[in-house]
Structure 1
Amino acid sequence: MTLRRLARFASKFLWDESGATAIEYALIASGISIVIVAAVIGIGGSLKDRFDGLNGLLK
């Protein structure tokens, strides 16, 4: 590779923003998944108590 071709390749690589959108979507998806996990953990405790109460009534 000549020096000119290497400089052109480096310039194209540095100005290419096509991967930025994928990274942004990945960050959004990970943020949403964190919120979902937190909600499930928060609701899980109250559901367990409710099912334990129902289980006690059925026995």
Structure 2
Amino acid sequence: ALITSPGVEDLMLICDRILVLYQGRITEEFARKEFSEEDIYRAMQGETIHRKETAS
């Protein structure tokens, strides 16, 4: 399902994955274990988010 919302808090409660669009393009993808309200808002403003690589 595709859900859109201007409020990140609601999305963080119900989504397993969040994709951020900026200027019509997907710029970031966050899995539930990576959710950070600050990072999502930064991505919504066009900033690049640098995350640590985790071993699988």
Per the TM superposition, whether the score is higher than 0.5 is: no
TM-score if structure 1 supplies the norm length? Answer: 0.19
More helix by share: 1
More strand by share: 2
Q: Between Structure 1 and Structure 2, whose CA radius of gyration is higher?
A: 1
Q: Which has the higher contact order (CA 8 A, sep 6+)?
A: 2
